[in-house]
């Protein structure tokens, strides 16, 4: 029995579904379950960001008190790990037979990056929370498989998949906070625009390039990592 067998997960998430039928007297209020809690939490995360996600708000949305959640979840950190994996459900792992390994590799990473970009809260979560759960595992396995097809094996592949994730996650977070807040990234940009050219000559000369590029920049970064890994194998 493994902790991440998909059946296990499903069973884990729906722990209390068996008992619904016997509760005929109060059909209006859904009974709690880990699955329901995580789905509610993800909804809040999408709408209000990571700082807006709290046990108390989840409880309120579920029309109960915060203490009720602790039957299904050990603490807020554990909840976040579940929410992250749940949020990665929509990352596309396309699997057509004649796809080229490199295209598929870049596509899945772009899909991952887009998923995070679309809900900045998930991006923030991905940055600080270790990837646990079936969706994360499926992605990692998929990427390792494509790297393998491209001739990158064993330690290089193991370390490389981490590096690719780090990069995609950080870029998504950066771009997401750029679109959302506005202020934080904008004020940084303004600062660089007026940097002292004698003290920081190269920064000053590259002040535009340092902030340029979106998807083109992301693809360039992936290419850098991949080319680097191939180069290191020689």
Partner DNA sequence: ACCTGAACACCGTTCAAGT
Q: Does residue 10 bind its own copies (CB under 8 A)?
A: no
Instruction: Please report which residue ranges of 88-153 form alpha helices under DSSP H.
Output: 101-118, 120-128, 134-149
* Footprint of its own copies on 96-155 (CB under 8 A): 124, 127-128, 130, 132, 137-138, 140-141, 144-145, 148, 154-155
* Footprint of DNA on 52-111 (CB under 7 A): 52-57, 64-68, 70-72, 75-77
Handedness of CA 132, 135, 136, 138 (dihedral sign): positive
Per-residue DSSP letters for 90-103? G------TT--HHH
* Footprint of DNA on 43-62 (CB under 7 A): 52-57
> Token digits for 206?
């590259």
CB of 25 to DNA, least distance (A): 10
Query: Candidates 41-49, 82-90, 93-101, 192-200 — which segment interacts with its own copies by CB under 8 A?
Result: 192-200
Query: Candidates 10-18, 20-28, 67-75, 181-189 — which segment interacts with its own copies by CB under 8 A?
Result: 181-189
Identify the residue among 12, 16, 149, 219 touching DNA (CB under 7 A): 16
Which of its own copies, DNA, none lies near 201, with the C-beta cut-off 5 to 8 A by kind? Answer: its own copies
Q: How far apart are CA 234 and CA 223, in angstroms?
A: 17
Identify the residue among 5, 11, 19, 193 touching DNA (CB under 7 A): 19
Max alpha carbon distance in the chain (Å)? 77
With beta carbons less than 8 A apart as the criterion, state whether 117 and 109 touch: no
Token match 């996650």: residue? Answer: 169
Token match 């949305």: residue? Answer: 61
Identify the residue among 55, 73, 157, 172 touching its own copies (CB under 8 A): 157
């Amino acid at each position: 029995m493994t902790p991440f067998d998909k059946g296990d997960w499903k069973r884990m998430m729906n722990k209390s579904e068996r008992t619904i039928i016997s509760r005929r007297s109060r059909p209006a209020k859904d009974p709690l379950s880990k699955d329901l809690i995580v789905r509610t939490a993800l909804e809040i995360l999408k709408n209000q960001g990571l700082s807006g996600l709290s046990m108390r708000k989840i409880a309120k949305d579920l029309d109960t008190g915060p203490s009720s959640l602790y039957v299904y979840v050990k603490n807020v950190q554990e909840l976040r790990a579940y929410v992250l994996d749940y949020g990665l459900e929509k990352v596309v792992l396309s699997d057509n037979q004649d796809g080229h390994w490199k295209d598929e590799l870049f596509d899945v990473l772009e899909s991952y990056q887009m998923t995070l970009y679309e809900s900045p809260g998930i991006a923030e979560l991905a940055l600080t929370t270790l990837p646990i759960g079936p969706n994360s595992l499926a992605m990692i396995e998929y990427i390792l498989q494509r790297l393998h097809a491209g001739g990158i094996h064993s330690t290089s592949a193991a370390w490389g998949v981490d590096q690719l994730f780090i990069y995609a996650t950080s870029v998504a977070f950066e771009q997401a906070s750029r679109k959302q807040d506005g202020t934080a990234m904008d004020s940084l940009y303004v600062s660089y625009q007026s940097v002292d050219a004698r003290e920081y000559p190269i920064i000053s000369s590259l002040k535009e390039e340092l902030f340029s590029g979106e998807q083109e920049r992301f693809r360039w970064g992936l290419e850098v990592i991949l080319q680097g890994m191939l180069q290191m194998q020689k």
